[in-house]
Amino acid sequence: KAGVTQTPRYLIKTRGQQVTLSCSPISGHRSVSWYQQTPGQGLQFLFEYFSETQRNKGNFPGRFSGRQFSNSRSEMNVSTLELGDSALYLCASSFLTDPNQYFGPGTRLLVL
């Protein structure tokens, strides 16, 4: 099976702009989780979607949002970008109730 894919791989934006990141899970996986990875904070959970519904949410401001489509592909959106949003954004997918998560390569976002 093909692994988790994320697009784009790299992004440069300026403060105040918004950005949309995309994640395609492994075929058959219906759960998609998003994480923000920064050197100082490690991997921080953003949210998780299952069957187009947000099942879990981390402690991030409302500027961070997401959605999942009927084919399990997921997008996350960050509005009004801040310098501190510069990070590697990882998505991970899992199968039904299996907690094993498989990560994508990430999208590296730089906010100038």
Asked if 38 and 87 count as a contact pair (C-beta separation under 8 A), the reply is yes
Q: Could you tell me the smallest distance in angstroms from the CB atom of residue 76 to other proteins?
A: 15
Question: Can you tell me which of 2, 10, 42, 84 binds other proteins, judged by CB under 8 A?
Answer: 42
Using the rule CB under 8 A, give the single segment among 7-15, 27-35, 64-72, 79-87 that binds other proteins. 27-35
Q: Could you tell me the smallest distance in angstroms from the CB atom of residue 20 to other proteins?
A: 20
- What are the distances in angstroms from CA 8 to CA 14, 52, 58? 16, 22, 23
Strands 74-78 and 53-57: unpaired
Rule CB under 8 A: is residue 105 a binding residue for other proteins?
yes
